[in-house]
Amino acid sequence: MRETTFGRELRSTALKIAQRLFLDRSASFVLDELGTTRSLRELRARVVKVIDETPDIKTFVLEANRHWRGHRAGQYVTVDVELDGVRHRRCYSLTSASSDQSSRRLSIAVKRVPGGRVSTFLHERVRPGAVLNIGHASGDFVLDAVPSAASQSLLLLSGGSGVTPVLSILRDLDARDAVGDVVFVHHARRAIDVAFWAELLSISRRRPGLRLELCLDEGDDGSKGFTEEGLMALVPDYASRHTLLCGPSGLMARVERMWAQRGLTERLKLERFGSPTPLGSPTHDGPVKVRLTGPERTRLTSGRGSLLAQLEAVGERPAFGCRVGICHTCTCTKRSGTVMNLLTGLTSSRAGEAIQLCVSAAMSDLHLELQETT
């Protein structure tokens, strides 16, 4: 429905009153109710369009407010939503080409995860006109981290919804007229699950240097169709290419192993949507007592897996975002005890240090200050 002049004046007056009466955060709450992206400090984005890409992937085209600082293709933003009074934060890769402060039109594409809280909310409840609280772009899955990438041969390798950051990079190369020698191999379970293919075909018709390969797996985790032999047949010169990879954990693990066995790890750049394969294998045996502060309580956990998963298994609801150690939403202070960082394999016993619950495992009984819960 078009807003009338009276409606606009009313909204503007309400905005001024809200900003005078409340600090920005409180005002933000009031403004949420008014569905506006205006905020003194907070970055917000209005949903301007929702596009069905596949039965379970939707693109949300967003218009950010004046606080947007721009992004580089391949980066992600966090999206905060409040469900039943509880704030949840999730990461979503931007699918749009790079932006600067002045170009505030962005897009994300969200796959609906069965039982997933935020993806289901976005699919079912978010319509054009809705306002989302987003975070500034972050992440190093970007092309300029690869030396003179535009002039070199690239292999873009994606699976399922992992197409999103890779698509952003390709759209960016296309927008900059910089598509060189690029092979794009995408894995999906079924033809119906393939998002953005018509657009990719259209880019490949304009850009002779771009070759597309679609692999349909019909497997459970999007990786059944991936074999080393299959990839070598499709892309015989894969070893000489800089490779950007994003997909389901099974596919990523196979590709990582293949590149590592051939000493090519330096030429592989990846973005994870899910839990990483732990480098460290905690040796602590048996249950771990975790004393939690705020409010004070003690939980007996299994001692296996990440602290985030262990605490969830005993009924705690620590705040989390990415679950892979990049967004810091799960950070808390460890007052005492020893933890292992699952990404680096390093252990640490320093009192008062900040730890990330999603990538830390208990090596002893612990005392944690756990303030924020979902």
Ligand X SMILES: Cc1cc2nc3c(=O)[nH]c(=O)nc-3n(C[C@H](O)[C@H](O)[C@H](O)COP(=O)(O)OP(=O)(O)OC[C@H]3O[C@@H](n4cnc5c(N)ncnc54)[C@H](O)[C@@H]3O)c2cc1C
Tell me which stretch binds ligand FES (CB under 6 A): 198-206, 226-234, 253-261, 314-322: 314-322
Cα distance between residue 323 and residue 28, in whole Å: 27
Report CA-CA distances (Å) from 207 to 113, 176, 196, 235, 320.
34, 12, 16, 18, 41
Query: Which lies closer to ligand X via its Cβ, residue 42 or residue 312?
Result: 312
Classified as helix, coil or strand, 109 is: strand
Residue 347, token pair as written in the block: 């252990």
Tell me which stretch binds ligand FES (CB under 6 A): 74-82, 135-143, 220-228, 327-335: 327-335
Do residues 93 and 164 make contact, with C-beta atoms less than 8 angstroms apart? yes
Check residue 325 for interaction with ligand FES (CB under 6 A): yes
List the one residue out of 366, 361, 337, 368 whose CA is nearest residue 282. 361
User: By CB under 6 A, how many residues form the interface with ligand FES?
Assistant: 12
Cα distance between residue 34 and residue 285, in whole Å: 53
| Binding site partner of 328, from ligand FES, ligand X, none, Cβ cut-off 5-8 A by kind | ligand FES
Tell me which stretch binds ligand FES (CB under 6 A): 173-181, 250-258, 280-288, 323-331: 323-331
β partners of residue 138: 76
Check residue 321 for interaction with ligand FES (CB under 6 A): yes
Ranges within 304-323 binding ligand X (CB under 6 A): 312, 322
What burial letters (b/e) apply to 130-165, b meaning 16+ CB within 10 Å? bbbbbbebebebbbeebeebbeebbbbbbbbbbbbb
Work out which of 43, 118, 326, 363 binds ligand FES, going by CB under 6 A.
326
Classified as helix, coil or strand, 45 is: strand
Work out which of 196, 329, 332, 343 binds ligand FES, going by CB under 6 A.
329
Check residue 115 for interaction with ligand X (CB under 6 A): yes
Cα distance between residue 363 and residue 284, in whole Å: 5
Q: State the nearest-atom distance from the C-beta of 276 to ligand FES, in Å.
A: 11
CA 170 to chain centre: 18
Work out which of 273, 325, 330, 337 binds ligand X, going by CB under 6 A.
273
Check residue 324 for interaction with ligand X (CB under 6 A): yes
| Binding site partner of 325, from ligand FES, ligand X, none, Cβ cut-off 5-8 A by kind | ligand FES
Work out which of 90, 186, 242, 299 binds ligand X, going by CB under 6 A.
90
Cα distance between residue 291 and residue 299, in whole Å: 6
Task: Supply angle C-alpha 259, 195, 61, rounded to 5.
Answer: 110
| Binding site partner of 119, from ligand X, ligand FES, none, Cβ cut-off 5-8 A by kind | ligand X
Work out which of 27, 62, 73, 91 binds ligand X, going by CB under 6 A.
91
Residues that bind ligand X (CB under 6 A): 76, 90-93, 108-111, 113-120, 161, 164, 271, 273, 312, 322, 324, 326
Residues that bind ligand FES (CB under 6 A): 320-323, 325-330, 356, 358
